[in-house]
Every structure is written in C-alpha cells, then in structure tokens.
A and B are shown apart, each in its own frame.
Chain A
Amino acid sequence: MASLVSHPDEVKVVTKRFGKGATSLDRYLELDGYKAVQKALGMQPDAVINEVKNSALRGRGGAGFNTGMKWSFVPKQSPKPKYVLCNGDESEPGTCKDRLILEHDPHSVIEGVMIAGLSVQAHVGYIYIRGEYRYLSEIMQKAIRDAYGRGFLGKNIFGSGYDFDVYWHGGAGAYEVGEESALMESLEGKRGIPRIRPPFPAVIGLWGGPTIINNVETLASVPHIILGGADWYAGLGPPKNGGTRLFCLSGHLNRPGVYELPLGYNLRKMIYDVGGGISNGRNLKAVVPGGSSTPVLTAEEIDVGMDFDSLAKAGSMLGSGGVVILDDTTCMVKFAQRIMKFYQHESCGWCIPCREGTDWLKKTLTRFHAGGGTKKDIDNIQYLAENMLGRTFCPLGDAAAMPTISIVKKFRKEFEDHLEGRPCPFEKAGAVRELPVMA
C-alpha cells in the first residue's frame, strides 16, 4: 500500500524485513523470525528484562520511558492474570510508522508481545489496532492464525511447556485511546476515558491485572535486541537513547517518507539530505519534531540530535517520530488553529481544563485567523494554554497546550500581522473559510 523509500544513512533494524514478503510465516522464519522468542524461552525472565533495560530502548509511542524499566514494575506475584497490550492505535498527527510495521512485518510484533509476556510471566497478549487500519487488522489476524497453526502460540509454545495466547483487537476511531489507560478502557468495551494514575497499568491494568503496554515499534524492536544483544542496540544511538527509530518525514519536503535512522541523527541532515530539502525551492520556517503535540522548532533550531534527551534540552520532544516540515508560505496562526481543532475534536471531555481549554482556544484561534483578533487575544491564548499544562488526568491537555505555547512564543509577529481585521498574509484574498465565532 504505502510506498517505501530508502536512504544510504538508514540503519535497518525494525525495517530490515520490509518489502521482503515477511507477512508470510515461512519467509519470516527464513529471515530469522521466531528465533528471539525461542532464545528468550531459555532465559530467566529477569534476564530478559535486564537485556531490554540495558539496550536503552525507550517507548516509541511518545513518552520515551525506558521499556525494560516499565516491565520491571510488574509485580512477580499477582492474584490476577497478567497481560501484555500492544498499542497500535497510531493517531498522532504526523505519524505513520506503525502502519508500515504492521503491513510488512506483523510477526515481529507478535514475537515482541510474546517476549514481553515471558519477561513478566504473562500468558495473554492483545494487539490493539485502530479501526481505520482495517487492512492491517486482516494482515495481523492472518499472522496470528498462522502462528497458532505451527504451535508458536497457544498451549506449550515451541514445546517449552509455556502457554501463550495472542489476540487481535480493533478500535473504532479515537485519538484519545492511544493513551495507555484509555486504551485499556476501550479494550474492555467502554468509552476511552483515561484512568487516574497511580495505580499504573503495570500494577493494576486490564481487568485489574498487571499489564505491560507498549507501542508497536517498541515491541517490534524487542526481538532484534534479544538476538543482537543489548550492547549492540544501545551502541546504535547516543547514551540512554538506544537503537534506531522510524522517522515519518512529511510536509513541505522533496522526499517525504518513513526512514529508519539511528537516534541522535542530526535534524538538519534529516531535512536537507534524507528528506531531499524543502519542496518548490522554498525556505524552511518551522519543524514539528515528533508529532503534533511536540513544541515546534524554528529554522534556526535544527542543529539538534534527534533523540529524547537532545530534543528535551532544545525545549521540545522526540514524541512519536512524526517530523513535519513547514516552509515559509505556511501561516503559523492557521497551523496552530488546525492543531487545536484536532485536540478539541479528540478531547474526551473528562477533565475540564482540556475540554474547555481546547474549545476556547479553537474558537479564539479560528476568530484570530479570520481577522477578528485583538492584541489581548495573543496573551490570552498563551495564558489559557499554560493553564492546561499538568492539570489533566492524561497528557491530551498537555499535547494541545505545548505546540500552541511554542507557536505563540516563537511566531508572535505572525499573530500581530493578523490584527486589526487584516486578512491572513499567507492566503489568497477570500480564501478564508472559517468565519469569526465572536466579535
């Protein structure tokens, strides 16, 4: 479906089987498939956790928490069954990588779920795939059936005496469900409203049992770590930022696409070398480095390593790996408005700062972009967004506030250019669709 691209700087770990027919179980086995889980079956659970911990693999969904550390929080003894839940609800704007993994290498995800299960002595894993990805659900269901057919799943896997089941689960359209506690609610057949934490899912998760929740890319990386070793994987990136990641390059680029690059890769090189530079000979204005919820970087801030710690130091986040490039024809007010429209649509309405904040911000930004803004609005937008930070049960409120704050701070002049009823300087006359919502 989605076309593949490549670049000489790529380090293919998770993508190494892409385009090689690995959806077929036989082909996957030829390409070292299901070797890692067999190796893990011969290891002590704690040794598996330590291997993943030492590999410095950090969550690829957005939060960037050390994966092995997350697994180590699961209690050894539990009266309730333990679970592994793979998060394939990929919906962060700018992100389209899990889709490729599920399309080209579904067995690696199953294998990652199995290894995670072994490490905490769980016996059931679920792979949750967003409803829009119907064709990927079908690929995954077939992969699971095939694995059962060979005795890789079910009772006594690989003759080890260990039982492990993997099931597919589907969503029906909700960004919020990508948040781990909302994901569990959705899997339990409810509205995707986040749960109050603590307790964290590792202690009380699905149906009250301890649950490991990881992103598709995170779990697909695990078999490679078990086979290649923690040192090798950690050495691919800078300290504490192990391995590679799938960067989804989009926006005003000559060669957009999903590229697997080592963590720490220079953003300038990523834009001008890997992505082929800005399209139509235009200049760079801004970069969204890790999906729509991460603070934007200006054209002067792109000499930064694309890893969790370097971007945090630069005042942004690596997030989900969605790198969106904006050229100098982009109206930042319109961009901020579109981001807020998204978060307003997706807010579940549970926490008031998020429900009301996103709605007011959307209304204000829409009015502002249409020429109905006042000078006071600029500070109000900032004030409202800052007051959403850290005041909601889940990170959706933060996700809406962070890019907004950064855009107002870094592109204040563009807001001022919209004042006094002036039409948007970046749009053709009459092209403004949204009307002011209040005077």
Chain B
Amino acid sequence: MKFSDQFEQRFTEMLTHYPTKRSVLVPTLLFAQDEIGFLSDEVIHELAGRLDLTDLEVRNVISYYSMLTTKPRGKFNVQVCTNIACMLRGADELFEHCEKKLGIGHKGTTPDGLFSLEEVECIGACSWAPAAQVNYDFHENLTPDKMDRVLDEYKKKGTQ
C-alpha cells in the first residue's frame, strides 16, 4: 500500500498531536480517500494496522461519516445541497437538472467514470443558495444554466 509523501508526512505529524493513535483516524480516512478515490479493503487494512485497530473498527467509523465511501466514485463528485435554504431557491430543480444532464441519479456514476452525483445536506452556503460542491470546490448562486457551465468546465478538465 503506497500513499504519497505528503500523506505520509501529514500522518506522521498528526500522530504527535494526540495522546492516542486512533484520534488521527477520521481526517486520515478522508485524506486516504482523496488519494485512492475510495476506501478500499486494502486501505482499511493498512490504516487499521497502523493505528492498532481491527478492520471492523475502522469500517464501523467509515459507515458513520457521510463523506466517506467504500465504493469507487467518479473523478468529480457533484454534491447538490437540497436542504431548506437551497430548496427555497430552486435546489430541487437544480438537482433534477443535474440528473438529466449527467444521466444518473443520487449516488450514481457516469459510465465514463467522470462524474458522480449526490444530493447532500447543508454545506454552509445558505446565504448564497442554491449551492453545490464539486469535490471540495464550492459553486454558489447557481441556476441550471450556470450549473451547465460549471459541469462543462469539469468535463473539459477531466478529458484533457
């Protein structure tokens, strides 16, 4: 199991921040997922070993957090917030628009592996609603047209 040097550096440093090893687990899982794409059996086994946990204990934590996934996702994960502030400003329509545009539903992935789509809960962009995150990037004050442009940009980036 090989992670990047940056991952290893951060992991080693974070271990010094806490009195117990397992405290690094949640952020480390997210960093590992960012590199590998998802939390594979191999990643889980590796991190469990490093933190003196069983694989099951790690899986137990993964299943709690909504951002963590044990299944591969598209290169760009489109997360449309449909919670109240976004809903009032057209988030349901925006989500439906994304479904049509990408041809996939909630938690689906396009056949080319470029996009995944997810309906998510409040992402903290209420005053700039409706909003979506593509991976970690925020896109705010969206309309279906603006969303098209955002998705086209990512498509260009992903196929270059």
Contact = CB atoms under 8 A, between A and B. Distances in A.
B23 interface: yes
Nearest to A334: B87
A256 B26 contact: no
A192 interface: yes
B88 A345 contact: no
Contact of B30 (A170, A191, A345): A170
Interface stretch (A35-43, A48-56, A126-134, A417-425): A126-134
A322 interface: yes
Contacts, number: 153
B31 to A, nearest CB: 8
A174 B27 CA distance: 13
B25 A96 contact: no
Contacts of A190: 22, 25, 61
B121 interface: yes
Interface of A: 1-3, 81, 90-96, 98-99, 126, 130-135, 165, 167, 169-175, 186-192, 207, 248-252, 256-258, 288, 292, 322, 324-326, 330, 335, 338-339, 342, 345-346, 348, 433
Contacts of B55: none
A288 B87 CA distance: 14
A351 to B, nearest CB: 15
A429 to B, nearest CB: 16
Given A93-B126, A94-B122, A188-B22, A251 B85 contact: yes
Nearest to B84: A93
Interface residues of B, number: 42
A189 B51 CA distance: 10
Contact of B128 (A98, A256, A342): A256
A288 B29 contact: no
B30 A131 contact: yes
Interface string B24-36: 1111011000000
B88 A135 contact: no
B140 A2 contact: yes
A96 B125 contact: yes
A257 B129 CA distance: 10
Contact of A94 (B26, B68, B84, B92): B84
Interface in B121-140: 121-129, 133, 136, 138, 140
A254 to B, nearest CB: 12
A250 B129 contact: yes
